[in-house]
Structures are given as structure tokens and as C-alpha cells.
């Protein structure tokens, strides 16, 4: 029994680290999406974003079996993240780059800019909540059954691990979002980096969707395999490092 709880404790530590990465991504995206707003609206929008992140992730905890089994939910999350990330990257790379992007920023910041921004934050939060819960469930389901019975469609001990990991992620989002707003002012290159990370997380959700038993294009074990995990986090860290060390061009 002692070894069982040690295994659970180790899994929880790993999950907190994993949720930390996803929460940092989520917080960075909140900061980037709200970046164009005036300062008072920016803080308000980010606070709304944090509240929605809390709501969606807690809702996801109690809809684990639904999210894990309905591939359409996963596909919508993947499609939205890919759209959000690639749209910005293509604009920045092939459009009139920063000039066009900032013209759009000014348009969004005026008039009806606030609520459309909150809407974008909600969609991004929902997609990240789906990804977060799927990652947590994938890790927790590898644990042996506990003597705590069943809850939320899974073993009680596994559910507690997912719950505690999710709470840790939410705490990190709360404190990281404000920090990222300040960081973006110093390192503008991180804006495109954030959208590249968004697109890459979208790829991850797409892989999970394609491996769903009702789709069957990929092997169902592939999204949780060691090789894909190494590829995903290797690319994720690579994107973050490139963005961090990229020249901070003033716009």
C-alpha cells in the first residue's frame, strides 16, 4: 500500500510540472490576446480570462468521461487552436507584418474591441482546458487502482491526482498572466512565439483526435507514447527558446 501512494505522489509531481507548462502557455496566450486593449480594459479582460480558465477547467474535471470519449470536442479544440496560431503567424510572416497587425490591434481596441477579445479568451481557455484534462487523464490512467472507489467515471485516487494537478495549474495561470503582460512589453518576439505554441498544442489535440477509436487514423496508443511525448515537449521547449532569444524588434 505504501508503494501505491508513493507512485501516486510521484505521478502528482509530474502532473503539476505538466500542468505548469500548459498553464504558462495558457497565461501567455491570455496576455497576447488582450495585449491591444487599453490598460484598464486589458486588466479586466485578463481577469475575465482567468475566471473562465478556472470555470472551464473545473467543468472539464467533472466531464472527464465525456471529453475523453467525444472526438468532436477534441477536434473543435484542435481546429480553433490551429486557426488562432496559424492566422497570426501567417499575418506576421507574409502580410505587411507588424504594421498590419497593429492596425488591426487599434481597430479591435476601439468600440467593440473589449467583448470580442473576451470571446477569444473564452475559446482559447476552453481549448486549453480540453488539452489540460486529456493530458492529466492520460497520465492518471496509467496508475494502479486505489481503494478509494470510483468518481467522475474513473478511479477515485486517479481523480484526486487529476483534481490536485488541475488546481495547481489554475494557481499558476492566476499569477503567470500578469507577469506575461509585462514580459511582452520587454520581449515583443514572444507574441509570435505564443501563437506558435498555440498552434503546436493544436497539433497535439489533432493527434489525439486522429487516434480516437472512432477515427482510427493513428494508433490509439501513439498520443501517449514515449516518442510522441519527447517530440511534443522537445518542439515546445525549442519554440520557447527561439522566442526567448529572438531579437526584440521594436515596433
Per residue in 2-54, pLDDT (tens digit) is 677 787 888 788 777 777 767 777 777 788 888 888 888 888 888 888 888 88
Higher pLDDT, 115 or 137: 115
Q: Among 73-77, 95-99, 150-154, 175-179, whose mean pLDDT is lowest?
A: 95-99
Can you tell me which residue has the cell 500542468? 19
pLDDT reported for residue 45: 87
pLDDT digits (tens, 9 = 90+) for 77-121: 788 878 878 887 887 777 644 545 445 544 444 435 888 888 888
The separation between CA 189 and the C-alpha centre of its own chain, rounded to angstroms, equals: 19
pLDDT band at 249 (very low <50, low <70, confident <90, very high): low
- Choose between 211 and 150: higher pLDDT: 211
CA distances from 92 to 36, 195, 202, 205, 223 (A): 15, 11, 19, 24, 30
Q: Rounded distance, CA 97 to CA 198, Å?
A: 19
**Cα–Cα separations (whole angstroms), residue 24 to 132, 175, 179:** 12, 10, 10
- Residue 171 vs residues 35, 78, 118: alpha-carbon distances, Å: 21, 24, 20
Q: What is the pLDDT of residue 68?
A: 65
Q: What average pLDDT score do residues 59-71 get?
A: 73
Bridge partners of residue 150, in order along the sequence: 155
The answer, yes or no, to whether residue 169 has pLDDT greater than 70, is: yes
Q: Where are the alpha helices (DSSP H) in 145-188?
A: 156-186
- Residue 157 pLDDT > 50, yes or no? yes
| pLDDT-based confidence at residue 168 (cuts at 50, 70, 90) | confident
Burial per residue of 208-239, b for 16 or more beta-carbon CB atoms within 10 angstroms, e otherwise: bbbbbeeeeebeeeebbeeebeeebeeebeeb
Question: In three state form, how does the secondary structure of 10-56 look?
Answer: HHHHHHHHHHHHHHHHHHHHHHHHCCCCCHHHHHHHHHHHHHHHHHH
Q: How many Å apart are CA 119 and CA 105, to the nearest integer?
A: 15
- Using left for φ > 0, alpha for ψ between -120 and 50, and beta otherwise, residue 192 falls in alpha
Instruction: Dump pLDDT digits (tens) for 216-246.
Output: 899 988 987 889 888 988 998 898 888 878 7
User: Would you list the domain boundaries of the chain?
Assistant: 2-245
Amino acid at each position: 500500500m505504501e508503494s501505491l501512494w508513493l507512485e501516486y505522489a510521484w505521478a502528482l509531481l509530474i502532473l503539476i510540472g505538466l500542468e505548469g507548462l500548459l498553464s504558462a502557455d495558457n497565461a501567455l496566450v491570455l496576455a497576447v490576446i488582450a495585449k491591444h486593449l487599453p490598460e484598464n480594459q486589458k486588466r479586466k479582460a485578463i481577469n475575465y480570462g482567468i475566471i473562465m480558465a478556472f470555470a472551464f477547467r473545473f467543468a472539464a474535471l467533472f466531464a472527464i468521461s465525456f471529453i475523453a470519449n467525444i472526438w468532436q470536442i477534441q477536434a473543435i479544440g484542435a481546429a480553433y487552436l490551429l486557426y488562432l496560431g496559424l492566422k497570426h503567424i501567417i499575418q506576421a510572416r507574409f502580410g505587411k507584418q507588424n504594421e498590419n497587425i497593429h492596425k488591426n490591434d487599434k481597430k479591435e481596441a476601439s468600440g467593440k474591441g473589449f467583448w470580442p477579445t473576451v470571446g477569444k479568451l473564452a475559446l482559447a481557455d476552453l481549448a486549453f482546458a480540453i488539452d489540460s484534462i486529456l493530458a492529466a487523464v492520460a497520465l492518471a490512467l496509467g496508475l494502479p487502482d486505489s481503494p478509494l472507489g470510483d468518481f467522475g467515471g474513473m478511479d477515485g485516487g486517479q481523480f484526486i491526482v487529476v483534481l490536485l494537478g488541475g488546481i495547481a495549474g489554475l494557481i499558476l495561470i492566476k499569477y503567470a498572466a500578469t507577469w506575461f503582460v509585462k514580459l511582452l512589453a520587454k520581449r515583443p518576439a514572444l507574441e509570435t512565439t505564443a501563437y506558435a505554441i498555440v498552434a503546436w498544442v493544436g497539433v497535439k489535440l489533432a493527434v489525439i483526435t486522429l487516434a480516437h477509436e472512432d477515427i482510427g487514423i493513428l494508433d490509439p496508443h501513439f498520443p501517449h507514447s514515449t516518442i510522441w511525448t519527447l517530440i511534443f515537449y522537445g518542439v515546445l521547449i525549442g519554440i520557447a527558446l527561439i522566442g526567448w532569444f529572438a531579437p526584440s524588434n521594436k515596433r
